[in-house]
Structure 1
C-alpha cells in the first residue's frame, strides 16, 4: 500500500510539471510547427524523388548508393550545422531473375502457377528448379512434432496467418514472423528441401511479401519463398483433397561480397548542452521490390523534416539534434549497430532516440521504452500538449530496430506510432509505392515527431 501511495504521488508530481505560461508558450509553438508542416512541408516532394527517381534500394545496390548521395545533398541544402557520412559495410544479396512457382502433379487440379517472392537471403534452387511433396504446418512446434520421418525430402509449408483479433497489427506481425525468420533452418534440420511461407500480411490478395530469413550456422541452407495469402489459401485447400500434390519453385538469387555504404547524418548543434544528443531517424534502405515508400521512405523524409521545421521556426536547440538515415535495416541492421558502436567509442551521451518505421499513415502517438519510471512519467505528462493533434496513444513499450542498439540505462527509446491498419497490406511488397502515401498524413507525422523533439530538447530528461 505504501509503495502504491508513493507511486501515485510521484505520478501526480510529474503529471503537470509546466506552469500555465509555459504550457501556453509550448502550445503556440507546436501549433505553428504544424502550420509550417501543412502549408510549406517538403517531405512529400522529397519522397516523390526518392521513390520515383531512385526507387527500391536494397543494401549494396546502386540504388542504395544513390539514396545515400541524395540524402546527403538534401540535408546539406537545409543548412544544418553538420552533415556527414558514417561508413558501414553492408551485405549484398541479389534476387536474380523472376521467381517462378506452381502447384503441380495434383490428382484433382491442373498445374496452377502461384505468386511468390524469394525470402531475403535465400539460397537458389537447382537450375531447373525444385519439385517435392508438401507438408503443411502452422507453427515451429508443430513442425518439430512431425519429426524427420514426415519432413525429410519435402517442402515445408508454413501457413500461420495473422491473428486478426489484435487491434495493433504490429502484434499480429510479431506473432507470425518467427516462421519466416527461423522456419527455413528448423525445416532443414529435419531434412526438408525447401520452404514456402504464408506472407506476413493482414489481408487476402495476390501480392507476396518478401522479408528476411535467418539461416542458422548449424543447419543446411535450403531455398525459401513467401507465397501470397491468396496462393497460400489455394495451396492449403488443395492439400486437404490431395496430400500427395507437389510444389515446384525456381529461384536464382546469390550473395555477393559486402559493399561499403553509409549512414547519412545531419545535425543541429546544441547551444547549451551540446553533449546531450536527441536522435530521430528512419532506414534509407528498402527491399528490392516496389519503391520502399512506406518502408521506410516516409520515416526518412519525416526525420529530415523534423530538423527543417525547427530551422524554419528559428528555433535554437539547447541539445544536439540529429537526423540519421540508417543503412541496412532490412537484411542486417548493420547501420544501426555501427551508429551505436561509434557513439559508445566516442563517449556520446544520447538522452532519447525516436524512430519512424511503421509507415506514413495518420499519427496516433508514441511507444516509449524509458530507462526509469520518472522519465516515462515526464514524457507522459506532455500528452496534453500532443493530444490536440491526435497523439493519444502514448504508451509503454516501443522503439525501433535501428535505435535498439543504443539501449542503456540512460536513453529513452521511442517509436513513432501511426495508424498501422493498412501497413501490413503493402509491407515488403511490390505494392509499396509512392501513390500509397497520403500527403497530409505524411506531413502530420513529421510535425508530430518535431513536436516531441521540441519538448525533449527544451525540458530534457
Structure 2
C-alpha cells in the first residue's frame, strides 16, 4: 500500500511537471509567434509605409484644417477616399456640428517705449478670441506670472490695462507635456479672469520651451463672462515676450498696441471620418485607433495632428498587408474639432453609447510624429499588469516606456464603454517647438520616425486583438 502511494505521488508529480512544461512551451511558442508578427509589421511599415505620403498630401496640398473651414472639408473628402481605397469592410462619415471661428486679417502688434518709438513683435490671436476695435487697441501693460498672481493684484492696477501673462513652461520637466499643463491655464482662462477685473486686453507668452519668433495659438474660453466684458486675447512669441518683459522693467509706463479681426460665426456641419475591418470572431467588440483631423490654421498641422491621423489609417493598412485577420472589429476614427471644442470625440462616444458598443481598446496618437517611446494606459491595475507582459516584445524597437497615465482628449469620452484607453507616447522634447504655430509644417516631420510610430500602434492593436483583456467591465461580455 505504501509503495502504491509512493508511485501515485511520483506519477502525479511527473504529470504536473509535464503540464507545466507544456504550458511553458506553449507560452514560449506564442511569444515567438508574436515577436515574428511584430517584426513583419515593422518591416512592412519601414519598407512600404504610406503614412508619410498621405501626410505630404494632407499638409502640402490641403494645409491647416481649422474646424468649419474649406480645408477641413477637403481633408474629410481626401481621407475618406484613401480609406475606401484600402478595401475596408465599411467607410462612412459621422455628422457633427462644429464651431466656426475665423482669424481674419493678419494680426499686428508693437511695443511703444515713447510716442513714435516702437518695436514690432509677433502675435497671433488665440482661438475663440474676440477682435480688437477696428483701429486696434493701445494701453499700458501689467505683467503677471499667472492667474494666481493676477488675482493677488490690486484691481485698480488692472482696470484699463493689457494684462501680459508671462509664465514660461518649466524647462526642468523632462516630460514636456507636464511643463505645458503647468502653465496653459493662463492661455485658456486668462482673458476671462482679466476681463472680470476690468482689463481691456490679454497677451499670453507662447507655450514653447525655446526662444523663437513663432507665436503659438490655442483655444481659450470666456466661460460665462458677459459679452461686453470679453476682451481680445493673443499669444506673443517667446522672443517677443522676453523683449516685452525686459522693456517693462526698464520703463513700466510703456504702451502695447495690437490689432486683430477674428470672429466667431454660427456652428456648421462637419464630419468624423470612420473606417473599419469587421472582426472574424467577435465583430461586436471594437478596437479603435484615431487622431484628430482638424488643426489650427497656422502652419499645416503636420505634427498636430496630421501625423496621428495618417498613423491611425496605416494601422488598418498594415494589418491587411501582413495578412493578419482580426478577431475583433478594428476601426479608425479621424475626429473633427479636437482643437476648439472636442465635438467629434464627444459625438463618437455618444453614438457608441447609443448603440451599446463595447471597445476593448481605444488608442490615440496626438503627440506628434516623433520617434515612439512607449504608451500610456488608462485602465485598472490588473489590466495594466497584463499589458506590461508585452513590454519585452517592444524593447527591440526602443518602445519601452509603458506606464499608467492619460490617453487622449478625443477618446476620453469613451471611458464608460472601453476596457483600456491608451496613448502613443513619442519623444516629446521638440513637440512644443512646433505645436499650434507657423512652424508646424511637413518639413518638420521625419519619415522614419513617423513610420516607426505607425508600426508601434499596429503592433499594440495586434496584441490586443490576439490576446483580448481577460478582465472586462460587468455586462460587457
TM-score, normalising length: structure 2? 0.92
1:18 CA drift (Å): 7.4
Q: Distance in 2 between matches of 1:114 and 1:18?
A: 65
Q: Distance in 2 between matches of 1:101 and 1:289?
A: 17
1:148 CA drift (Å): 1.5
Q: Which residue does the alignment assign to 1:5? A: none
1:384 CA drift (Å): 0.7
- The DSSP-based 3-state class of the residue aligned with 1:76 is helix
Q: Distance in 2 between matches of 1:216 and 1:326?
A: 24
Q: Distance in 1 between matches of 2:220 and 2:302?
A: 22
Which of 122, 131, 137 is the matching residue for 2:129? 122
Q: Which residue does the alignment assign to 1:295? A: 304
1:214 CA drift (Å): 1.1
Q: Does 1:47 align with 2:71?
A: no
Q: Which residue does the alignment assign to 1:11? A: none
8 Å CA contact retained: 2:358, 2:417: no
Return 5+ residue gaps in structure 1 as ranges. 1-15
Q: Distance in 2 between matches of 1:17 and 1:306?
A: 30
1:17 CA drift (Å): 12
Query: Greater CA deviation, 271-280 or 190-199?
Result: 271-280
Q: Which residue does the alignment assign to 1:8? A: none
The residue correspondences of 1:30-45 to structure 2 (distance < 5 A) are: 30-45=38-53
The residue correspondences of 1:363-402 to structure 2 (distance < 5 A) are: 363-370=372-379, 372-402=380-410
1:241 CA drift (Å): 1.0
Q: Which residue does the alignment assign to 2:357? A: 348
Which of 337, 342, 345 is the matching residue for 2:346? 337
- The DSSP-based 3-state class of the residue aligned with 2:402 is strand
Q: Which residue does the alignment assign to 2:196? A: 189
- The DSSP-based 3-state class of the residue aligned with 2:253 is coil
Q: Which residue does the alignment assign to 2:147? A: 140
Q: Distance in 2 between matches of 1:448 and 1:419?
A: 13
The residue correspondences of 1:13-412 to structure 2 (distance < 5 A) are: 19-106=27-114, 110-219=117-226, 220-370=229-379, 372-408=380-416, 410-412=418-420
Q: Distance in 2 between matches of 1:409 and 1:83?
A: 22
8 Å CA contact retained: 2:195, 2:230: yes
Q: Distance in 2 between matches of 1:347 and 1:286?
A: 30
8 Å CA contact retained: 2:113, 2:251: no
Q: Distance in 2 between matches of 1:229 and 1:210?
A: 12
8 Å CA contact retained: 2:287, 2:329: yes
1:4-29 CA deviation, whole Å, 9 max, x = no partner? xxxxxxxxxxxx99700000000001
Q: Distance in 2 between matches of 1:230 and 1:166?
A: 21
- The DSSP-based 3-state class of the residue aligned with 1:19 is helix
Q: Distance in 2 between matches of 1:17 and 1:383?
A: 20
- The DSSP-based 3-state class of the residue aligned with 1:152 is coil
- The DSSP-based 3-state class of the residue aligned with 1:87 is strand
Q: Distance in 2 between matches of 1:105 and 1:229?
A: 19
Q: Distance in 2 between matches of 1:18 and 1:106?
A: 80
Whichever of the two has the greater Rg, that structure is: 2
List structure 1 runs of 4+ shifted beyond 4 angstroms: none
1:256-300 CA deviation, whole Å, 9 max, x = no partner? 111110000010111111111111000000001101000000000
1:106 CA drift (Å): 3.5
